[in-house]
A and B are shown apart, each in its own frame.
Chain A
């Protein structure tokens, strides 16, 4: 990018702090006080402009989350962290709860049949705006779906969503841990680096993936961790479409 283009970007674009990977109490591994209201209040208090609630293989807390976010000074993106057949975590970001719900139908149809045993895997709470439990999700959300990475990325794209390879630096549940490397035919919109890896180290280890945009996020499972890692996006406004544009190269991404 030329120097002039940089000047233009800095004139038009505003800097937004984003944490695009947060688990609510619907994820079996998350703390029970990770209700949508508390997540949003915590994120606002920490000066985060954009968050995504991304539960394991489920979108059932998103409607509540979006309703709460309407009256708050924050943008919330509907999301899901989906487990592929290869046991890689794919972070899916959507422009609407409806799209996330359509994706959820596909995911639910691809999870193993069975009932979640809370004693081993934890509670999966669907809650309302007042932090009250509406019901327990009894599906095996912590399991892998029967969908391959390609199936998942194609499905996410078919509903206009963004597919991010989750925490590629982790030794489990990442595309690289499971499949060795990111091949050219994996059509990810971005890669995510976890909070375990510093930027300079990530740049050295993953330099062959410089063709992708990179983000980093908290992957918070408790309130304390929200915003422990964030990505700065330079956008015209805080919206799904603008983040999609930034991933395509229109706009700057920094962390």
Chain B
């Protein structure tokens, strides 16, 4: 199973807050509505979003999400990173748009699960 570290390396993600980067990743959920992520994401998934608010950390922690990827070159707020450190949540950023990142991530996870 791919870990956060593997994925960050392969996709050139910028690690802004380091939680448990050796955690395995089983899939991915993409949404910018935190209420939707609360309802539909699963633990050990990655979460790709445009949102940068500190509540992202709370939702990720509650749902057991392995790591959060903020796309399109957006930067997490300072408070978000502070809370991520406290909650041991991994936050990464990417200059790619959500569409491009999703494509790369899809291929990566699909091939990893075939092995």
A-B contact pairs, 6 of them (CB 8 A): A177-B33, A177-B34, A179-B34, A179-B55, A185-B54, A185-B79
Q: Are A180 and B54 in contact (CB under 8 A)?
A: no
**Are A183 and B51 in contact (CB-based, < 8 A)?**
no
Residues B55 and A181 in contact, CB atoms below 8 Å apart: yes
Chain A residues near B54 (CB-CB < 8 A): 183, 185
How many residues does chain B have at the interface if contact means C-beta atoms less than 8 Å apart?
Answer: 15
Query: Contacts A86-B53, A148-B53, A185-B54; is A180 near B59 (CB within 8 Å)?
Result: yes
DSSP majority for the A interface?
Answer: loop
A178 and B58 contacting across the interface, CB-CB below 8 Å:
no
Q: Give residues in B with beta carbon < 8 Å to A.
A: 32-35, 37-38, 51-55, 58-59, 77, 79
B34 CB contact (under 8 Å) in A148, A149, A171, A180 = A180
Apart from A176-B35, A178-B34, what are 7 other A-B pairs with CB-CB below 8 Å?
A: A86-B51, A87-B32, A171-B35, A178-B33, A180-B59, A181-B58, A183-B58
Name which residue of chain A comes closest to B74, CB basis: A85
Contact across chains for A180 and B77 when beta carbons are under 8 A apart = no
Interchain nearest-CB distance for B114 vs A (Å): 34
A149 to B55, CA, bound (A): 12
Give min CB distance, B73 to chain A, whole Å.
Answer: 13
Which residues of chain B have C-beta atoms less than 8 A from A177's C-beta? 33-35
Interface residues of A (CB under 8 A from B): 85-87, 148-150, 171, 176-181, 183, 185
Collect the chain A residues with CB atoms within 8 Å of residue B33's CB. 177-178
- Tell me, rounded to whole Å, the shortest Cβ–Cβ distance linking B56 to chain A: 8
Q: Which residues of A contact B37 (CB under 8 A)?
A: 180
CA distance A171 to B51 in the complex (A): 17
Give chain B residues whose Cβ lies under 8 Å from the Cβ of A150: 77
**What B residues does A148 contact at CB under 8 A?**
52-53, 77
User: Shortest CB–CB separation between residue B58 and chain A, in angstroms?
Assistant: 7
Q: Give 8 closest A-B pairs by Cβ, nearest first.
A: A180-B34, A179-B55, A179-B34, A177-B35, A180-B59, A180-B38, A180-B35, A180-B55
B91 to chain A, nearest CB (A): 16
Q: How far is the CA of A86 from the CA of B58 in the complex (A)?
A: 16
